[in-house]
């Protein structure tokens, strides 16, 4: 492997480590040589994918309790990580919430979508990411080095295509809320802010925005989504690993303030 892509000796923090994408990021970092501090909600059940990584990379991935909406919780987790390993050199802000397709029994027209749904996504996806950057990213800036990678979404750039969901039965058609995309668009903008603020401190800040990733979707959805992607399919987890390692490593030493879209060309149309 080109040594520029090696993460040997690096300490990485990944938030939302037991979610859908968390184990993908954790595995990519471990494979590249990093030690990973995995932050997750205390009540979150350890996923099979994450448990497998703990068994394979014993001692190189350690889970810490952390609620990214609670600054005291972030500070406590950050102190534990720093005491064990020193100040991290990589931060992956992955923790977030989305709106999965529901059962079809209690949907709302757009005029009636509860503001609480919007508020929750902003609270976690934007304000939670901000607080982690402040606490852990701030320590990296004081140390004078590091790479922060905020996980965005293709919906930070385009509106959801509601036709992907119109085959789902229910009292009202499933409606993908504007809240998720709006919160992720704000993360992309915030990435640019911190990249310019901390560039002189040696900290690079970028966004990695995945397209749709395979994970138990129904056949109709997968067919519709794939037909909208120039490469003709949804993303496999392995498709995300290389881009993450690139942004985390010295191979991207002159890349900051950038949104890397890993979407199969979805946003090119």
H-state helical runs in the chain: 22-31, 48-56, 71-85, 115-121, 129-132, 138-143, 179-198, 219-227, 238-248
| Three-state secondary-structure class, residue 159 | coil
d(CA 126, CA 135): 15
Instruction: Say what angle helices 22-31 and 238-248 make with each other, to 10 degrees.
Output: 60
Q: At a CB cut-off of 8 Å and minimum separation 6, what does 255 contact?
A: 204, 206, 247
Q: Is there a contact between 23 and 14 (Cβ–Cβ < 8 Å)?
A: no
d(CA 27, CA 30): 5
Instruction: Write out the catalytic residue numbers.
Output: 153, 180, 184
């Amino acid at each position: 492997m080109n040594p520029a892509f090696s993460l040997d000796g690096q300490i990485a923090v990944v938030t939302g480590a037991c979610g859908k994408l968390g184990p993908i990021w954790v595995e990519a970092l471990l494979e590249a040589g990093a030690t990973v501090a995995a932050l997750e909600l205390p009540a979150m059940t350890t996923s099979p994918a994450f448990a497998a990584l703990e068994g394979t990379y014993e001692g190189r991935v350690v889970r810490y309790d952390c609620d990214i909406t609670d600054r005291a919780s972030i500070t406590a987790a950050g102190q534990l990580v720093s005491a064990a390993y020193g100040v991290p050199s990589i931060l992956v802000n992955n923790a977030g919430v989305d709106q999965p397709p529901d059962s079809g029994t209690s949907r709302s027209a757009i005029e009636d979508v509860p503001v609480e749904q919007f508020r929750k996504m902003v609270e976690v996806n934007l304000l939670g990411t901000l607080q982690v950057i402040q606490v852990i990213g701030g320590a990296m800036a004081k140390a004078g080095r590091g790479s922060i990678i905020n996980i965005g979404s293709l919906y930070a750039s385009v509106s959801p295509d509601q036709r992907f969901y119109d085959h789902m039965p229910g009292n009202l058609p499933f409606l993908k809320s504007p809240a998720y995309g709006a919160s992720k668009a704000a993360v992309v903008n915030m990435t640019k802010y911190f990249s310019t603020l901390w560039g002189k401190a040696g900290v690079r800040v970028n966004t990695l925005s995945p397209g749709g990733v395979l994970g138990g979707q129904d056949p109709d959805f997968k067919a519709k989504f794939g037909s909208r992607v120039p490469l003709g399919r949804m993303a496999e987890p392995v498709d995300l690993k290389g881009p993450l390692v690139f942004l985390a490593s010295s191979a991207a030493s002159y890349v900051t303030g950038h949104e890397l879209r890993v979407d199969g060309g979805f946003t090119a149309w």
